Amino acid sequence: MATILVIGASRGIGLEFVRQYAEAGERVIATARDATGLARLRELGATALKLDVADPASISGLAWQLDGEEIDLALYVAGVYSTSGADTPPTQPEFDRIMHTNVLGAMQAIPQVAPLVAASRQGGKFAFITSGMGQIGAVESSFGWTYRVSKAALNMAVVAAQHDYPGAILVALCPGWVRTDMGGAAAPLSVQESVAAMRRTLAGLRPEHKGAFLHHDGRRYDTF
């Protein structure tokens, strides 16, 4: 039985990761910001931890909550979205909301969680849910430009952090265009399909994937 940590699991992709790994018989630890989210996680059989990744004071205590754990797979799923383009300057509250959740939260989680992942006797893995919209080499428009900037920054944080944790495999993983509150009803992938594909990709990670930027089905992005 593996121990899986899902950071940002109250709904959507994070909640589906919890559901599928719990149904597979794995031990799941998952985080949510509020009582409703925590209750959903407990109903699925997960150990639920209260955590707000956008609040530095909250996430700074994550290591304390995980004291003594050995994490075989950690997933940073927390993320927020914005659709405005470069014709609209982001407000400071909007910029802070997106960057705190998508980037700062991940960067604060890494030094707390990556050592627990590196200690895994099963070969620990730490995946960060990113987006193809953060690929600098393939920008088609400014749509969602603050979100794009945040995901490009997250990708850099992952590949940079890999150098400090050689005992773990860190990857940036795009879930595809998924039918969630963020992805909308027109997206081609269901949450179940996306998560199932990502689970297969995660199971197949090898040392040569360290620092990689991957599609949900395991294909590598040509550029960051």
pLDDT digits (tens, 9 = 90+) for 155-173: 999 999 999 999 999 999 9
Could you report the per-residue pLDDT of 41-57, keeping only the tens digit for each?
999 999 999 999 999 99
**Is 65 part of a structural domain of the chain?**
yes
Residue 23 lies in a domain: yes
Specify the CATH number for the domain of residue 62. Answer: 3.40.50.720
Whether residue 57 is contained in a domain is answered as yes
- Tell me whether residue 73 is in a domain: yes
Query: Does any domain span residue 220?
Result: no
The pLDDT-based confidence of 184 (bands split at 50, 70, 90) is confident
The range of the structural domain enclosing residue 70 comes to: 3-214
Note the pLDDT tens digit of each residue in 50-85: 999 999 999 999 999 999 899 999 999 999 999 999
pLDDT above 90 for 187: no
* Distance in angstroms (rounded) separating the CA atoms of residues 154 and 132: 12
Is there a domain that residue 138 lies in? yes
CB atoms near residue 198 (< 10 Å): 26
Tell which residue, 158, 162, 155, 159, has the closest CA to residue 138: 155
Which pLDDT does position 177 carry in this prediction?
85
The answer to whether residue 193 sits within a structural domain is yes
How many domains does the chain contain in total? 1
Please tell me the predicted confidence (pLDDT) of residue 100: 96
Per-residue HEC secondary structure of 189-221 comes to ECHHHHHHHHHHHHHCCCHHHCCCEECCCCCEC
Which pTM does this prediction carry?
Answer: 0.96
In a domain, 223, yes or no: no
